Amino acid sequence: MAEVKTSVALVPSFETEPDRYRHLRLEVEGNVARLLLDVKEDGGLHPGYALKMNSYDLGVDIELADAVQRLRFEHPEVGAVILTSARDGIFSAGANIFMLAQATHAFKVNFCKYTNETRLAIEEASAESGQVYIAALNGTASGGGYELAMACEEIYLVDDRRSAVSLPEIPYLAVLPGTGGLTRLVDKRRVRRDLADIFVTLAEGVRGQRAVEWGLVDGVFPPSTFREAVWQRAKEVAGPPRPYRGIRLEPLAPEVSEQEIRYRHVRLRLHVQPRVAELLIEGPREVPPLPEDPSRLGSEWYPLRCFRELDDALLRLRFNHPEITLVLIRTQGDWRKVRELDQQLAAHRQHWYVREVLLLLRRVLKRLDQTAKSFFALIEEGSCFAGSLLELALGADRAYMLEREGVVVALSELNAGLLPMGNGLSRLAVRWLRDPARGVEIQQIREPLSAREAEACGLVTVALDELDWEDDVRVAIEERASLSPDALTGMEANLRFAGPETLETKIFGRLSAWQNWIFQRPNAVGPRGALTLYGRPERPEFQWERT
């Protein structure tokens, strides 16, 4: 297979805006928005494939992720979003097969992970932001196209005797639906498992009234009334007008070089040691009082700007720097100001803008949880690991803290469940699964904690005095960077998500693990594998052993 080389040029930017969209159109009319897929065949992020039949690649999904986020911040007046196609007869053919066939293994896995996160952002917008997504399938939705529809709260299919929904990855490609399709089918839409078994092995899919009866869609309408019927349903869902005025999300525009990516509050230093990067977050310098309408602060308010920068840095790490094994997280600033800012967030969380900022923090921290890198937090002189920034240390695989006067960590209201993991628990609660009552006690602590106190409370992994700090940290870094990246990915995915299982943890814990394995198996990607031969006249040749 042709290899896509991984370099800074691979994904030049994860930022875009509606005026620059090539593949989507965003229309807002009152309290209803329409997102129309109109994918340009010649608009692939990389050469070598055509995006036919509204199939998508990473470039399309970057636009979709941007649109979902902008609707929440720039159009909070919207109560319903219709996701549909600008082309009659086809909604979306899903992820572009030829793009996947020529991509590296790492790119395929990261692509599936990113699209999963976008689907979860759609579901969160419906559940938490009151922007309910409705899929209007005015044509066939197959593979990732139907998975995208399943991320919406309601699905309506045109009943034209041709249009169907399908998940044909298993019969056609010998892989799994890559963005949560199997899990959403039975866990979210409650499709009977025997019917789901038929559906996901039936390449041509299911159409019309049968799709309704099986629970694959919520309703069908004839072509003559389809658009109007969906619009009326969206108006019902949207409800009365919402008296909100949005803000514009300004570009981040980082300075990018081979050694460093520099934002306003975040700096990502690459290869500070072999296979090691450093992520430095500067805390807020000032915490002015919130205005009566906090949205007047716009997109430059510290928590919003900082965590958007962190999100961009994590995505660049994933796609452009797969050789990085370990990321050292450092903070710099006044922990008191971080906690003061957290108090503002907690006190005003009922305001639509503050709520959206908190939800963004939650999504970015989940992105860190899902990133296949090791993270060590280094808490030393000048650090400001408090509240929302302490979540970075709680989410890290290890946290080392220097035992020195003035070096402290501090909890805030945000550590007590306002920024939950995918399992629904706070990162602090996950640390105290063995003794939940003790965890509840600890999350109430508001005094700053020294290294030994933080170690006793389970907030850090190791407290080190000044004599041991440099050598012990150096040895830990060198050891981690020397281990197998494959084994580390599997180990971290098993250890990071203790506690209850949710739809979200199933998608990442089960699907990502299985798809990661299947994407390396000869039945899918070998010289005679189904994904390799897709679009050619030859039939795949399978190895028939079940393992």
Whole-number Å distance between alpha carbons of 440 and 331: 26
Q: Are the C-beta atoms of 314 and 364 separated by less than 8 Å?
A: yes
Q: What share of the chain is helix, strand, coil (3-state, %, to 5)?
A: 45, 15, 40
In this prediction, residues 13-35 reach a mean pLDDT of 96
CA angle 383, 8, 112 (to 5 degrees): 85
Whole-number Å distance between alpha carbons of 6 and 107: 8
pLDDT digits (tens, 9 = 90+) for 453-510: 999 999 999 999 999 999 999 999 999 999 999 899 889 988 998 999 999 999 888 8
Cβ-Cβ contacts under 8 Å for 518 (sequence gap 6 or more): 174, 175, 176, 524
Single-letter residue type at 409: V
Single-letter residue type at 34: R
pLDDT given for residue 285 in this prediction: 95
Residue 56 burial (C-beta neighbours within 10 Å; 0-12, 13-18, 19+)? buried
Q: Are the C-beta atoms of 11 and 309 separated by less than 8 Å?
A: no
Whole-number Å distance between alpha carbons of 120 and 315: 16
Whole-number Å distance between alpha carbons of 171 and 184: 19
pLDDT given for residue 339 in this prediction: 97
pLDDT given for residue 520 in this prediction: 87
Q: Is the pLDDT of residue 5 over 80?
A: no
pLDDT bracket for residue 7 (50, 70, 90): very low
Q: Is the pLDDT of residue 6 over 70?
A: no
H or E element at residue 497? none
Q: How far is CA 373 from CA 57, 104, 350, 413, 484, in A?
A: 23, 18, 34, 28, 12
Q: Is the pLDDT of residue 147 over 60?
A: yes
380 in helix, strand or coil?
A: coil
3-state secondary structure 455-482: HHCCCCCEEECHHHHHHHHHHHHHHHHH
CA atoms within 13 A on the CB side of 148: 33
Tokens coding 47:
């050469």
pLDDT bracket for residue 514 (50, 70, 90): confident
pLDDT digits (tens, 9 = 90+) for 40-94: 999 999 999 999 999 999 999 999 999 999 999 999 999 999 999 999 999 999 9
Q: Is the pLDDT of residue 8 over 70?
A: no
Q: Is the pLDDT of residue 254 over 80?
A: yes
Cβ-Cβ contacts under 8 Å for 247 (sequence gap 6 or more): 73, 74, 295, 298, 299, 353
pLDDT given for residue 497 in this prediction: 85
Q: Are the C-beta atoms of 490 and 482 separated by less than 8 Å?
A: no
In this prediction, residues 434-458 reach a mean pLDDT of 96
Q: Is the pLDDT of residue 10 over 80?
A: no
The DSSP secondary-structure symbol of 510 reads I
The DSSP secondary-structure symbol of 289 reads P
Q: How far is CA 457 from CA 32, 139, 412, in A?
A: 48, 56, 15
Q: What domains sit in the chain, N to C, each tagged with a CATH number?
A: 18-238 (3.90.226.10), 255-495 (3.90.226.10)
Cβ-Cβ contacts under 8 Å for 130 (sequence gap 6 or more): 79, 242
pLDDT bracket for residue 139 (50, 70, 90): very high
110-147: burial string, b at 16+ Cβ within 10 Å, e else: bbbbbbbbbbbbbbbbbeebbbbbbbbbbbbbbbbbbb
The DSSP secondary-structure symbol of 311 reads H
CA atoms within 13 A on the CB side of 47: 1
Q: Which residue has the tokens 């419906």?
A: 126
Q: Are the C-beta atoms of 310 and 264 separated by less than 8 Å?
A: no
pLDDT given for residue 445 in this prediction: 96
Tokens coding 286:
């000032």
Whole-number Å distance between alpha carbons of 205 and 165: 5
pLDDT given for residue 490 in this prediction: 87
**Chain-wide mean pLDDT for the chain?**
94
Single-letter residue type at 511: L
Phi/psi at 185 (nearest 5 deg)?
-60, -50
The DSSP secondary-structure symbol of 113 reads H
pLDDT digits (tens, 9 = 90+) for 375-407: 999 999 999 999 999 999 999 999 999 999 999
Q: Is the pLDDT of residue 4 over 60?
A: no
Q: Is the pLDDT of residue 519 over 90?
A: no
pLDDT bracket for residue 328 (50, 70, 90): very high
